[in-house]
Structure 1
Amino acid sequence: MEIRELKYFVAVAKSKSFSKAADALHITQPTLSKVVKSLEKQLDITLFHRSARKSELTDAGEVVYEQAIKILNLVDELDIVLEDVTHLKKGKIKIGMPPLIGILFFPKMIKGFQEKYPGITIEIDERGANVIKDLVGAGELDVGFVMLPADMEEFHVIPYTSQQLMLIVNHSNPLANQETVMMKDLKNEPMLLFSQDFTLHDRILQECEQAGFIPHIAYESSQWDFISQMVEHNLGIAMFPKAIAEKVNPNAVKAIPIVKPAIPWEIVMIIKKDRYLSHATKRFIRYIAPNYSI
């Protein structure tokens, strides 16, 4: 059964005439008769009492007519909704990002987009970058903002921003007297790390290993402000991106650049390859990275 068959059937039912319906549909009467007979054959019923003067619905035809009207109304509604989505009157985007990225960039990132596309709903999932990668890969999120590295085979990877990591220490720590620090200087310091679902957790461990030591991890947390307060109480050192380091209490802690090596905090937008992208998602990607094409 096709939508076209239902439309033709309804046209005849409303006009009670095959000839009038054919004129309204801009088709020949034999073509219309053939379509209606095909529908009757599929349903195994007679839809019309045919006469020279008019065509009246049978009892079975009345039932089919009522249901056909409902189906055609639903199709019309679907067309309208799809038209709205296509022209971005409506839509929803599911975005994943770690809390750090959300704090630093999301308000500025989304303000202009929602002014331009006010009908699009943005749903935010705040998790660690490792979890965000899994959710984007599983198709549960449309896009994600994560720290590198990211799987180039699985994702489209679009650069967003880059900052350096800074060491955060209590003013009473001897390291606070230095203007820069090297990773090897941190060998004997208790570390406060982001939890294991954060890419930054793994990256710091890798940098420690490359500097020749295994760090003493004192605490792990998913909250940067909690880690900062722990540093304020001299319970360990921490490493934050520069923009977060600038938010800590300067009266209690000091932010120091890390050198040899400098550790970049590179943020990218990831989109799963070979996945259908809604019009809303495509516009968001274009808004964030206007020169990037997928």
Structure 2
Amino acid sequence: MDQRLEVFLKVIEKKNFSKAAEELHMTQPAVSQYIRSLEETTGVKLLERTNKYVRLNKAGEIVYHHAIEIKELYAKMNHLLDDLTNKASGSIAIGASYTFGEYLLPQIIAEAKEQFPDIKPTVTIGNTTTIAGLVLSHQLDVGIVEGHFKGVQELKTEPFAEDRMFVVAAADHPLVQRTKPIKVKELIEETWILRELGSGTREASEAVFKKFSILPPSLMHFSSTQPIKAMVEAGMGISLVSEWAIQKELRYGDLKVLNVEGLPYTRDFSIVTRSPFQTKALSAFLDLLKNHKELTDFKIL
């Protein structure tokens, strides 16, 4: 990778020439020379500099965005070359949407580290749209998401496991004792506690509303599943959640699944990648993921 880009990225990271020089074990004039050379090559000024700050201008933002991608691609290239002769090792940047990332991924990574101790996974958790965007920009090697995203032809999406979703309520909710199936239309006046737009779980809720032609007037929104479960447990409303997210609450009786006609709602967990090439470390992780026993065999509901 062009050392001028490495120096440029470090200056932006540290927001200071002298701190970047210290980190790179260079002199400050040398750092300045690298930045000046990069600006001469690109033909534009990239940084706004004063005694107090260093920040990107518009041209600098363009170079910074692509320099990040170049750095990721360069590292991936070296990993692929190393893999020609070496065993599965090195870093894997993994992204996961909240349901999978919070409730399933930790165990899978623990097993991956046990089987392949030389791999070094890092994990980013976000909603489905965020994770897909990070894979697209080469900041993640792989994303594991639920739901769908549109208009991203560069990404390869591969479903690998099924997820079932149920409507849950507090243990003392009046509908919990109903033995006769509840029609979804009976739930229209309930307060629905949902995830934010852009999440796979929110997409599933919207799909259920559309399928049964309902539009609940009372909605609440949260950016993760944990506060949603707490709100439902406190009797503040109901929610549609993955069975993987409620195993502990069902075991202890804090939440109950409502017997709703036409449910559970099923969706896929999918693997999202961009590059057609995979390091040995990533291939080993994906093989473990696709054949993970808990996903293929075990269900609690």
Partner AA of 1:140 in structure 2: Q
Q: CA deviation at 1:257?
A: 4.5
2:161 corresponding residue in structure 1: 161
Corresponding position: 1:140 with 2:139: yes
2:96 corresponding residue in structure 1: 97
Corresponding position: 1:222 with 2:223: yes
Find the aligned partners of 2:91 and 2:243 in 1 and give their Cα distance. 32
Find the aligned partners of 2:78 and 2:103 in 1 and give their Cα distance. 39
Find the aligned partners of 1:169 and 1:178 in 2 and give their Cα distance. 12
1:30-59 CA distance string (max 9 Å, x none):
xxxxxxxxxxxxxxxxxxxxxxxxxxxxxx
Find the aligned partners of 2:78 and 2:264 in 1 and give their Cα distance. 54
- Look up the SS of the partner of 2:282 in the other structure: helix
2:203 corresponding residue in structure 1: 202
Q: CA deviation at 1:135?
A: 1.5
- Look up the SS of the partner of 1:181 in the other structure: coil
Contact 1:218 1:236 in 2 (8 A): no
Q: Please identify, of 91-100 and 202-211, the stretch whose mean Cα deviation from structure 2 is larger.
A: 202-211
Corresponding position: 1:265 with 2:270: no
Distance 1:102 1:279, change over 3 A: same
Q: Given the two structures, how large is their TM-score scaled by the length of structure 2? A: 0.61
Distance 1:287 1:171, change over 3 A: closer
Contact 1:91 1:120 in 2 (8 A): yes
Gaps of 5+ in 1: 1-77
Partner AA of 1:241 in structure 2: S
Find the aligned partners of 1:153 and 1:276 in 2 and give their Cα distance. 17
Partner AA of 2:191 in structure 1: P
Contact 1:190 1:235 in 2 (8 A): yes
- Look up the SS of the partner of 2:104 in the other structure: helix
Q: CA deviation at 1:251?
A: 4.2
Matches for 1:103-114 after TM superposition, within 5 Å = 103-114=102-113
Contact 1:128 1:198 in 2 (8 A): yes
Partner AA of 1:205 in structure 2: E
Find the aligned partners of 1:209 and 1:256 in 2 and give their Cα distance. 19
Q: CA deviation at 1:269?
A: 1.2
Corresponding position: 1:256 with 2:258: yes
Gaps of 5+ in 2: 1-76, 292-301
Distance 1:269 1:227, change over 3 A: same
Partner AA of 2:90 in structure 1: G
2:232 corresponding residue in structure 1: 231
1:212 corresponding residue in structure 2: 213
Contact 2:165 2:241 in 1 (8 A): yes
Partner AA of 2:118 in structure 1: G
Q: CA deviation at 1:127?
A: 0.4
Find the aligned partners of 1:79 and 1:129 in 2 and give their Cα distance. 29
Larger radius of gyration: 1
Find the aligned partners of 1:136 and 1:175 in 2 and give their Cα distance. 42
Q: Which has the higher strand share?
A: 1
Q: Please identify, of 277-286 and 199-208, the stretch whose mean Cα deviation from structure 2 is larger.
A: 277-286
Q: CA deviation at 1:259?
A: 3.3
Partner AA of 1:200 in structure 2: T
Contact 1:86 1:279 in 2 (8 A): no
Contact 1:168 1:240 in 2 (8 A): yes
Q: Given the two structures, how large is their TM-score scaled by the length of structure 1? A: 0.63
- Look up the SS of the partner of 2:258 in the other structure: strand
- Look up the SS of the partner of 1:259 in the other structure: coil
Find the aligned partners of 2:101 and 2:178 in 1 and give their Cα distance. 31
Contact 1:97 1:132 in 2 (8 A): yes
Find the aligned partners of 1:252 and 1:108 in 2 and give their Cα distance. 24
- Look up the SS of the partner of 2:249 in the other structure: coil
Partner AA of 2:256 in structure 1: K
Superposed structure 1 runs of 4+ greater than 6 Å apart: 78-81
Q: CA deviation at 1:215?
A: 2.1
- Look up the SS of the partner of 1:230 in the other structure: helix
Find the aligned partners of 1:140 and 1:258 in 2 and give their Cα distance. 41
Contact 2:99 2:244 in 1 (8 A): no
Find the aligned partners of 1:89 and 1:279 in 2 and give their Cα distance. 5
Corresponding position: 1:170 with 2:136: no
How many residues of Structure 1 are paired with residues of Structure 2 in the alignment? 212
1:117 corresponding residue in structure 2: 116
Partner AA of 1:121 in structure 2: K
Q: CA deviation at 1:276?
A: 4.0
Distance 1:79 1:285, change over 3 A: closer
